[in-house]
Amino acid sequence: MRARTRRGMTIVEVLVAALVLGIVAAGALASWSLASQAAANKRTIEIGTAIAVHELERLKAMGYPYLPASPVQSGQPVPTVRWYDKYGQWLGASATTGDFKVKSYVSILIDRDGEANSEDLKEIVVEVWNGDETRLLERARTLLTFGGV
């Protein structure tokens, strides 16, 4: 006579399957958290870049003769600070806090004769920081001439 064979899973097979399922589920949860943070970080950096470009273009549009150099204290330029909200909108001249802190520095690199003419060259540096100034999101720099070649 033939021995009857039972169909089904043993307790060891069930435990191994549960262990594999648990490992896969833990990995999926960890990657879900990482993926959601990556999207938020990307958005923050993109807004910071857009703000830096906006500030740089705003300063360039003022024109060389009307763009004053940043004052210097203890050998370091003092920045002009502007605040933006989480959507990249300027919060106004009276704002003292926000989601993005923008520091702008203007320095005269070349002024050979002390007169405003085509020999002059200014550097504009714009830094975009997070609100508590712990993370630099973007730094943009450009040179501005008086109007000559």
Q: Which pLDDT score, from 0 to 100, does residue 149 have?
A: 43
Confidence of residue 47 (pLDDT cuts 50, 70, 90): very high
pLDDT digits (tens, 9 = 90+) for 1-37: 566 666 767 888 889 999 999 999 998 888 887 888 8
Q: What are the pLDDT digits (tens) for 104-138?
A: 999 988 877 777 666 788 999 999 999 999 999 99
Lowest mean pLDDT among 62-66, 68-72, 134-138: 62-66
Reported pTM: 0.73
Q: What is the mean pLDDT of the chain?
A: 88
DSSP letter for each residue of the chain: -PPP---S--HHHHHHHHHHHHHHHHHHHHHHHHHHHHHHHHHHHHHHHHHHHHHHHHHHHH-GGG-PPPPEETTEEPPEEEEE-TTS-B--TT----SEEEEEEEEEEE-SSSS-STT-EEEEEEEEEETTS-SEEEEEEEEEESS--
Domain range list for the chain: 11-145
